[in-house]
Amino acid sequence: MSVLSPSRVPTSAPRGRALVEERPLRHPDVTSSRVMSRRAWWLVASNFLLPGSAQTLAGNRRLGRVGLIATIAMWIVLAAAVLLGLMWRSMLTSIIASDWTLTAAQVLLWAYALLWVVLTIDTLRLVRLRRVPGRTRAGVVVVALVLALVPASASVYTAQSVIAPLQSGLGIFADGPSVPPSDGYYNFLLLGADSGEGRDSMRFDSISVVSVNADSGAVTIFGIPRDLRHVPFSEGPMRDLYPEGFEGQNSPTCGWTSGINQLTNAVEACRTDKGDSLYPDARKQNSTPAVEATRDAAEGILGIDIPYHVFIDMHGFADLVDALGGVTITVRERLPEGGGPSYHNQPAEDWATGWIEKGTQHMDGDTAQWYARSRYTTSDWDRMRRQRELQTAILDQATPSTVLSRFSGIVAAGKNLVQTDIPDSLLPYLVDLAADAKGQEIQDLELTPKGVNIDPENPTSADWERIRGMVHDLLHPPTPTPSTAP
C-alpha cells in the first residue's frame, strides 16, 4: 500500500483538474459561483434551442440522444410539410386527409410535449441549483420553465385545437373515389335552407351551381330562382314522372306548386316512403332524395353534369360567419330584420326588429344571415343577388391567415353547417384549385328575368335551350379568330 498510494495521489488531482478544464459542463468547478452560473444558463439555453443537447453535454447521453433524435425528426417533418405545401399541395392534402396520419400526429405531438417537460426537469437537475447563487438560481428556474411551456403548450395546442377539429371535420366528406371533371369542370350543387323553428319542411331557399375550371380554378356561379317553375329534369326517375317538366299537385292533405323548391314536398314530405323508391341509394351516399331530385333539375336546366352537392343549413350560417371574424358587404338599400308583416301592406317600421343600413358594413353572423334572408321589402331577385354577394365575399375574405388563426372555430361551425357527398379523395384537387382561384374574378349568371330574359312563371322549351347555350358559352368561350390585317 505504501508503494501504491504515492503513485495515486499525484495522478488523480491533475486528472480531475484536466476534466474540469476540458469538459466544464460535465465536470464543473462547483466551488466557483461564476462558473456554475454561466453553466446553468448554457444548459437552459441548450435545452431550449436543441432539446437533448443538455443531457448529451452534461448528463445521461442516452436520454440526450432520444431528445436530439425526436427534435431533428420533428424539424424534418415540419420542413417536409412546408416544402410539400409550397410545391405539392395536393400530396400534402392527401397525407393530412388520412385518419391514420392525423391520429399518429396527435400521439407524436403529445409525446413530444411530454418529452420536452422531462428534458427540462432533467436539465434543472443537471444545473445543480444548490451550487448556483440565489438570484441566478431563481432566474434559471423561471426561464427554464417558461421556455419549456412555450413549445410544450404549442404541441398540445396543435394536437387539440388544430388536428382534432380537422380530424372531426373531415367526417363530413363521403368515402370512395372521385369522378373526373365533366367537360373540363368540377360542378357542385350548392343548396341553402333554413331549419329554424316554424318550418314545415326543409325547402331549399337558395339554389346555385358552382362550376370550377379543372385547369385554371376559375369559378362560375349559376343562380337558380327558388320559384322557377316547370323545370326540366336530366335522365332519371323525375324525368320519368314529369317528362314535360315539373308540375304541381293540389291536395287538401299534402300538395305542392311547380316551383323548383317544392321538390322537397313532391319527393319526400308527401310520399310515404320519403322518396326512397325514387332514389334508393341517396342516404347511403350522404345525400337525400330531395337533394337528388334538385340535382336532376339543375342538370336539366343548365345542361351540365353535377356529380356533387353541398347543403348549407342557414340556421347555422351565422356561426360560420362569426368563426371567420365577420364579412364586409356594401349594402345597396336599407333592409329590415324581423319575421315579416302580420297583415297585407303593413309598414316595415311596425314589425321590423332592426335595420341593416345602407353603405359598407362589416357584418357579424346574425346581421349577415338577415342580409341573406330579408325579402319582404325587396324581390326574390334582389335576395338572390345578396346571397351571391355573401358567397363571393366569404370566398374572397377567407384568406389563409384568417382560416389558420380561426381554424378550430371554422371547422366546428362547418361540421354543424354542411352536408355533402364530396368524397375525401377529391380534397387534394380542390385545395390546388382553391389556391389557383384566389385573385380571379368570379363569373355569375342569374336565371332571372333580368339575367337571362326568362319568365320564371311560364318558361318555354326554347328558354331552356337558350339557357343551356348561354351556360356553354360562359364555360367555354369561343377562341378569338386571329386577325389577318397587316
Burial group, residue 41, by CB count within 10 angstroms (0-12, 13-18, 19+): middle
Task: Quickly state the pLDDT bin for 3 (edges 50, 70, 90).
Answer: very low
pLDDT at 196 over 60: no
Task: Quickly state the pLDDT bin for 277 (edges 50, 70, 90).
Answer: very high
Residue 289 phi, psi dihedral angles, 5° rounding: -60, -35
Q: Under a CB-based contact definition with an 8 Å cutoff, are residues 59 and 126 in contact? A: yes
CA 44 to chain centroid, in Å, comes to: 39
Q: Which of 235-239, 313-317, 322-326, 347-351 is least confident?
A: 313-317
Q: Which residue would you say has higher pLDDT here, 483 or 439?
A: 439
Residue 22: predicted pLDDT: 54
- The helix, strand and coil proportions of the chain, stated in percent and rounded to the nearest 5, come to 55, 15, 30
Domain ranges for the chain: 15-172, 185-324+398-475
Beta bridge partners of 188: 210, 308
Q: Which of 5-14, 170-179, 438-447, 456-465 is least confident?
A: 5-14
Q: Under a CB-based contact definition with an 8 Å cutoff, are residues 295 and 224 in contact? A: no
Query: Strand runs (DSSP E) across 332-410, as ranges?
Result: 335-337, 354-356, 359-363
Q: Structure pTM?
A: 0.69
State mean pLDDT over 256-282. 92
State mean pLDDT over 6-32. 56
Pairing between strand 308-313 and 354-356?
Answer: unpaired
Instruction: Of 185-189, 321-325, 402-406, give the range with the top mean pLDDT.
Output: 185-189
Residue 199: predicted pLDDT: 43
Residue 10: predicted pLDDT: 47
Task: Quickly state the pLDDT bin for 8 (edges 50, 70, 90).
Answer: very low
State mean pLDDT over 56-74. 87
Task: Quickly state the pLDDT bin for 463 (edges 50, 70, 90).
Answer: very high
Q: Under a CB-based contact definition with an 8 Å cutoff, are residues 424 and 170 in contact? A: yes
State mean pLDDT over 258-263. 92
Q: Which residue would you say has higher pLDDT here, 194 or 28?
A: 28
Domain formed by 185-324+398-475, architecture: 2-Layer Sandwich (3.30)
Q: Which of 59-63, 139-143, 165-169, 264-268 is least confident?
A: 165-169
Residue 4: predicted pLDDT: 41
CA distance linking residue 215 with residue 326, whole number of Å: 31
State mean pLDDT over 444-472. 91
Pairing between strand 204-213 and 219-224?
Answer: antiparallel
For the chain, give the number of residues. 486
Structural element, H or E, at residue 299: helix 289-302
Tell me what the pLDDT averaged over the chain comes to: 81
Q: How far is CA 476 from CA 158, 213, 217, 374, 473, in A?
A: 44, 10, 14, 35, 5
Task: Quickly state the pLDDT bin for 159 (edges 50, 70, 90).
Answer: confident
CA distance linking residue 122 with residue 126, whole number of Å: 6
State mean pLDDT over 91-118. 80
Burial group, residue 31, by CB count within 10 angstroms (0-12, 13-18, 19+): exposed
Q: Collapsing DSSP states into helix, strand and coil, what is residue 335? A: strand
CA-nearest of 170, 422, 448 to 311 is 422
Q: Tens of pLDDT along 73-89?
A: 888 888 888 887 777 77
Phi-psi region of 183 (alpha: psi -120 to 50; beta: other; left: phi over 0): left
Task: Quickly state the pLDDT bin for 224 (edges 50, 70, 90).
Answer: very high
Share above pLDDT 70 across residues of the chain, in percent, rounded to a whole number: 84
Q: Which residue would you say has higher pLDDT here, 242 or 153?
A: 242
Residue type, 209: V
Grid look-up 325587396 returns: 378
CA distance linking residue 348 with residue 154, whole number of Å: 52
